[in-house]
Structure 1
Amino acid sequence: MKLTGNTILITGGSRGIGRAFAEALHDRGNQVIITGRDPALLDAICAQRPGMTGLPLELGDPASLAQVAEVVHARFPSLNVLMANAGISRAEDLASGHWDDLDAEAIVDTNILGVLRTVATFLPLLTRQRSATLMATSSSLAFLPLASLPTYCASKAFLHSWLVSLRHQLRHLPVDVLELSPPYVQTGLTGAAQASDPRAMPVQDYVQQVLLKLERGDHPRGEVLLDADQARRWAERDGTYDAIFALMNPE
């Protein structure tokens, strides 16, 4: 994937990994459009970065997605990179006796249906380009779950499988389908503590390593996975699944 001269749409681009990618790609001279739920935050980000465009989007609202699509089709017909990045994570304890389906429903609606809706909306525009890239943000937890986040991890496992099928379906079209699988990164995904957790990878370090892999075309099977996360990716094949699961999920 070339990293300059693109027109890029990033959902969930006002915070965390999405924002870090948006800023890094904007610095490389790309036209970047970001979406998010907070119009004031979008305005503040774009005010600091002339040429960047922010569009409010509520993925669970079909009318909101339709409005964004109308703007993008009209103003950015050369869109050739889509990063379906918006996602949420919430801890769940089914053993507590107080579980209800509200958190799980929100995760499924954003992490699964939100990605599917986004891809379906903008894929026709991508296929008009001579070369395009579709990226979706999964997680290294798609391969080996953190048990305190059951629906979140399952949503990313769903996304991994879905992207494999999508990649096959689009194999004769000029659209590369890539899966980003971040490790534990310093963002606010699970709350304020994660953003400063020294065990988490600094978000800028993650983004720079991913950009280097994209520039080199280092994404076998369409998976953009850091070297340190290969052990989890192949734990089942390597016979280390139980041992790594136990380390991640102590008694």
Structure 2
Amino acid sequence: MSFPYKNVLLIGATAGIGLALAERMIENGIFVIGVGRRKERLDAFVVKHGSNKAAASQFDITEFDKIEGWAKDITEKYPDIDAVILNSGIQRTLDFSKPKEIDLPRTIQELGTNYTSYLYLITYLLPHLQALAPKPAALVAVTSGLALVPLPRCGNYCATKAALHSLLWSIRAQLSHDEGSRHIRVVEILPPAVKTELHSQQAELVKIGQGDIGIPVEQFTDEAWAGLVSGDEEIPVGHVKERFEILEGPKRAPFRKIVETFMGKK
């Protein structure tokens, strides 16, 4: 099976794994609309690949009140968008053994970027994908291996990814049981730590010599792209593959039973 989508809206495309995925898709003949906050990086992205292969939209997904209007504008400007990739995320150290040192506004910002914004984006972009029926469409979200097994240092980050992981199971079940939405594949990519700005820009990690942890971006991109091309709905990457079925496999039968009980068989 190939990756059948030819016009991808990729949110979080200015650096790291988002940029790497965008460039891999362009290499494979896919038109990518990159979305991010940093205009200079978006401009460089388009200049590098050319306006016939890439476009950009500067937007801050934490401005929740603007997402509905932005989603309407971007899908009207690029009506052929047939896949949406949600990749934006931030990570913060959070130590409850020192509650007086916790910066709650900074912590809530992490929740807003990693989870709340996805609720808005999915809500306002799904109607466009539904309207493409019966043409294949996809909703892809990047979570984390930490959605399955949390890391105490960044517990709030892990919680946001676990919440998104759970939400994607429910969305996948709902769309598969809706006649007007069955053409939409719901895909989750679960990376391990990857050597990107997510770590190198965290002063706390740099201070303890962990600002460069993770697998190379190239390894992540190769494995994630292979899963996308294969049509996998869940794509664990790196060492996450080793524990994925052990942790997730036992949940599948009970979840299917719940779905059948409350939604019926497809």
Shift of 1:227: 6.0
Contact 1:90 1:190 in 2 (8 A): no
After superposition, where does 1:6-17 map in structure 2 within 5 Å? 6-17=6-17
Counterpart in 1 of 2:93? Answer: 91
Matched, 1:162 2:170: no
Shift of 1:15: 1.0
SS at match of 2:197: coil
1:144-190 per-residue CA deviation (whole Å, 9 max, x = no partner) reads 01100010000000001000000011003210001110011111113
Contact 1:188 1:195 in 2 (8 A): no
Counterpart in 2 of 1:81? Answer: 83
Which residue of the other structure, out of 205, 224, 239, is the alignment partner of 1:210?
A: 224
**C-alpha distance in structure 2 between counterparts of 1:157 and 1:107, whole Å:** 14
Shift of 1:209: 1.3
My pick for the range that moved more, 54-63 or 29-38, is: 54-63
Distance 1:216 1:137, change over 3 A: same
Contact 1:3 1:28 in 2 (8 A): no
Contact 1:16 1:188 in 2 (8 A): yes
Shift of 1:103: 2.3
SS at match of 1:169: helix
Matched, 1:24 2:27: no
How many pairs align? 235
TM-score by length of 1: 0.86
1:40-98 per-residue CA deviation (whole Å, 9 max, x = no partner) reads 22111111111211111111213542453233222211111000111111111121231
| Residue identity matched to 2:59 | L
Which residue of the other structure, out of 95, 108, 112, is the alignment partner of 1:109?
A: 112
After superposition, where does 1:14-93 map in structure 2 within 5 Å? 14-51=14-51, 52-93=54-95
**C-alpha distance in structure 1 between counterparts of 2:3 and 2:148, whole Å:** 28
Distance 1:47 1:232, change over 3 A: same
Contact 2:11 2:36 in 1 (8 A): yes
TM-score by length of 2: 0.81
Give me the identity figure in percent.
28
| Residue identity matched to 2:43 | D
Contact 1:139 1:156 in 2 (8 A): yes
Counterpart in 2 of 1:133? Answer: 138
Structure 1 unpaired stretches of 5+: 239-251
Which residue of the other structure, out of 189, 193, 200, is the alignment partner of 1:184?
A: 193
Shift of 1:203: 0.8
- State the superposition RMSD in angstroms: 2.3
**C-alpha distance in structure 2 between counterparts of 1:91 and 1:232, whole Å:** 24
Which residue of the other structure, out of 123, 127, 136, is the alignment partner of 1:120?
A: 123
**C-alpha distance in structure 2 between counterparts of 1:190 and 1:109, whole Å:** 19
